Amino acid sequence: MIKGKAVYYYMGLGIAVTAVLFLNVAHFFVFWQDCFWINETVRTAAETAGALIAIAVAFLLLQRSFENKKPSYFILANGFIVMGILDGFHTLATLGNRFVWLHSIATLSGGLIFIVVWSEKLSKLLSRRRWIFWFSALFSFTLGAQAYLFPEYLPGMIENARFTPLATVINVSAGILFLLSAIYFLRIFYRFKKTEAYWFAFLFTLFGMAGISFQYSEVWCLEWWVWHLIRLIAFLLLLRMMILEYRLKSIRVRKRNRKLQELDERKTMFVSHVSHEFRNPLMIARESINMILEGVHGELNSDQKKLLGYTQNSIERLTRMVVNILDISKIEAGNMEINRTKFKVESLLNEVIAINRREITKKLIVYEQDVREDVGFILADRDKLSEIIINVLNNAVRYTPDEGKINISVTGTDGDVRFEVSDSNPQIADEDQDSVFDKYERVSSGSKEGAGLDLPIARELVILHGGTIWIENIEGVGNKIIFILPRR
């Protein structure tokens, strides 16, 4: 965005450059009327460059129209794709009636499309129909191909090396339409100080000049070369503007990403600090309630035990949530370390089940366990593997209905150990199975307690061990979470 006095600087620059171009055109008309320069190579190169730039810019504007929700960009994209394709056909044509017709119709089509930006309502209506862009491209391609397939049906555009009145009317009309479009963007620039509006105003002014100066020229004369030069300058200016916008956007994206990264780091530090502050009081409260329930400070009646049991369950859930948040903070900060030791898998699994037995029993869940003899020992982080199993098991217990079924099966090979945790909770759709490992994501029906961190943490810890984890549906009902860890 242009601010302050820079607005008048840009406007003055545009007026000055336009005035210089007009004066040069007038100079050619007065002093160089009889000068001709025939160079097909230069003409082809200039027009090819213009056509390719127009097509490239059309796709850039189309993308930006969807990203920025700007209907005017969609209209401009349609105009440039039509001009680019028809100018491409014009570039391939030899000098003659078809040559002038393709250039003239490309210019007029662009002018007619660009003028639509004046109608905000129509621009919004058209921008909602993306197929219109492809229709414009197909229409212009068909129009260009028709000029080659049926040249005898084309109107007369050149006669005795001079342009006919029809050719002049088409190009001058297009020039006027371009100037009207330039006025629209100049108005937008003056009101909102948008840099791109200034460049579009300047661009359409140059296109308008090229269209109007067409009537004063004949093929290969210097006036003819002047409006070719003006059009090329306009296309190069457009390309420069889009490259500049892309660079500025990249800079803004990098700055925004750095800022988001800094905010994420601060968030992680804050969450980690708060979680640490929560954990110690929770540990004290949990141990105190355990001592009371065990009768250390006197016997309790059944109602007191029941109320303290509810409190104990709530503290256990809150403690688990705090531990999960701390783990996520460490993982995100890259501070989670693996300390491998050799231990027996079955003994660890039994310890984990003993810790979670109360939750399993409370829901009357049928628990089955099958550890094959070939499993034996594993070289891994004992605490982290315990946490993986606890998190996967907690997820299964949470979503398995009362009197449901959970089964843990462990098998081994020489190279790895395979864990399978099966449950009877509602099946997860195939398209949602990857989402269960996303942080704070829930795909199961119904509202369940928890922060949605059990499986994401389990996945990260499995990956830290060099393993893999995924979920499968069980035939009939239920899901199976499988993770495989290297044995050593």
Count of residues making up the chain: 488
Quick one: 248 and 351 in the same domain? no
Quick one: 253 and 361 in the same domain? no
Quick one: 236 and 350 in the same domain? no
Number of domains in the chain: 2
Quick one: 181 and 49 in the same domain? yes
- Model confidence at 274: pLDDT above 90: no
- Model confidence at 128: pLDDT above 80: yes
DSSP 427: P
Residue 116: pLDDT band with limits 50, 70, 90 = very high
- Model confidence at 449: pLDDT above 60: no
The predicted structure's pLDDT at residue 35: 63
The predicted structure's pLDDT at residue 272: 64
CATH number of the domain that residue 44 is part of: 1.20.1070
3-state secondary structure string, 379-391? EECHHHHHHHHHH
Strands (E), 272-360: 341-344
Q: Which residues pair with 472 in a beta bridge?
A: 480
In a domain, 168, yes or no: yes
Quick one: 64 and 193 in the same domain? yes
Give me the mean pLDDT over the 256-267 stretch: 79
Looking at 190, 224, 259, the residue that finishes a domain is 259
Quick one: 348 and 474 in the same domain? yes
Quick one: 230 and 350 in the same domain? no
CATH number of the domain that residue 476 is part of: 3.30.565.10
Between 428 and 448, whose confidence is greater? Answer: 428
- Model confidence at 5: pLDDT above 80: no
In a domain, 91, yes or no: yes
Buried b (16+ CB within 10 A) or exposed e, 242-279: beeeeeeeeeeeeeeeeeeeeeeeeebeebbeebeebb
Its domain, for residue 233, covers 6-259
In a domain, 301, yes or no: no
What digits encode the pLDDT tens for the residues 338-355? 888 898 988 888 888 887
CA distance 170 to 215: 10
In a domain, 62, yes or no: yes
Between 284 and 173, whose confidence is greater? Answer: 173
Token pair for 311: 């409190």
- Model confidence at 447: pLDDT above 50: no
Residue 448: pLDDT band with limits 50, 70, 90 = low
Quick one: 249 and 361 in the same domain? no
What digits encode the pLDDT tens for the residues 452-480? 678 888 888 898 888 999 988 887 778 89
CA distance 100 to 249: 39
The predicted structure's pLDDT at residue 9: 46
Looking at 208, 237, 259, the residue that finishes a domain is 259
The model's pTM is 0.53
In a domain, 315, yes or no: no
In a domain, 413, yes or no: yes
Nearest CA among 252, 226, 301, 310 for reference residue 31: 226
Quick one: 11 and 137 in the same domain? yes
Using a pLDDT cut of 70, give the percent of the chain over it: 80
In a domain, 201, yes or no: yes
Quick one: 346 and 453 in the same domain? yes
In a domain, 336, yes or no: no
Residue-averaged pLDDT of the chain: 79
Quick one: 243 and 384 in the same domain? no
Quick one: 20 and 150 in the same domain? yes
What digits encode the pLDDT tens for the residues 15-32? 555 555 554 555 444 444
Looking at 194, 224, 259, the residue that finishes a domain is 259
Between 120 and 209, whose confidence is greater? Answer: 120
Flag the least confident range among 178-187, 338-347, 447-456: 447-456
What digits encode the pLDDT tens for the residues 218-251? 666 666 666 667 777 777 777 777 777 777 778 8
